[in-house]
């Protein structure tokens, strides 16, 4: 009788230890905060002061997020895909949507960083699809 009781107790302890270890492992998940995420964006797509000459562009360009013309001296980010946006507009977009270019959907960050950020984002309940988000944005900014 005593042996059965002891083994049950032992089992309970094992379960308890497992759940404790489990929860600490969960909190150790390699996730990054929005601040870190933005830092990575800055690293990969540094903010520059817009200048037509510097960009070797003849015509003025438009920021596809706010649909207004980018003027000389404004803070912009030029992505790998060569699309240019206002820094603030792009950062907002990248936090709301996926870390992709608003125009061509080119990834702005390496997959391993995105995976970490995605994991954190998925902890915050969000069930809207990309398409819905794009629709919402176009409804907001378009006419």
Contact predicate 103/110, CB 8 Å: no
Least Å from the CB of residue 36 to Zn ion: 23
- Applying CB under 5 A, the span of 16-24, 35-43, 49-57, 76-84 interacting with Zn ion comes to 76-84
First to last CA, the chain: 79
Least Å from the CB of residue 11 to Zn ion: 57
The nearer residue to Zn ion, 12 or 69, going by C-beta atoms, is 69
Least Å from the CB of residue 63 to Zn ion: 3
Of 76, 80, 79, 53, which Cα lies nearest the Cα of 66?
A: 76
Does position 86 interact with Zn ion (CB under 5 A)? The reply is: yes
Q: Indicate which single residue of 89, 99, 109, 114 sits in contact with Zn ion (rule: CB under 5 A).
A: 89
Q: Could you give the 3-state DSSP secondary structure of residue 77?
A: strand
> Rounded to whole angstroms, what are the CA distances from 95 to 16, 29, 43, 111?
38, 20, 16, 16
Per CB under 5 A, residues contacting Zn ion are 63, 65-66, 81, 83, 86, 89, 101, 103-104, 106
């Amino acid at each position: 009788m005593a042996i059965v009781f002891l083994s049950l107790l032992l089992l309970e302890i094992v379960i308890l230890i497992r759940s404790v270890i489990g929860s600490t492992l969960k909190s150790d998940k390699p996730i990054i905060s929005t601040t870190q995420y933005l830092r990575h964006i800055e690293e990969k797509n540094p903010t520059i002061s817009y200048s037509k000459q510097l960009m070797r562009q003849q015509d003025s360009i438009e920021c596809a997020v706010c649909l207004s013309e980018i003027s000389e001296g404004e803070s912009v980010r030029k992505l790998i895909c060569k699309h240019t946006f206002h820094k603030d507009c792009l950062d907002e977009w990248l936090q709301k949507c996926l870390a992709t270019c608003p125009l061509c959907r080119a990834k702005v960050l390496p997959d391993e960083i995105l995976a970490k950020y995605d994991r954190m984002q998925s902890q915050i309940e969000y069930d809207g699809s990309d398409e819905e988000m794009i629709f919402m944005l176009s409804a907001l900014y378009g006419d």
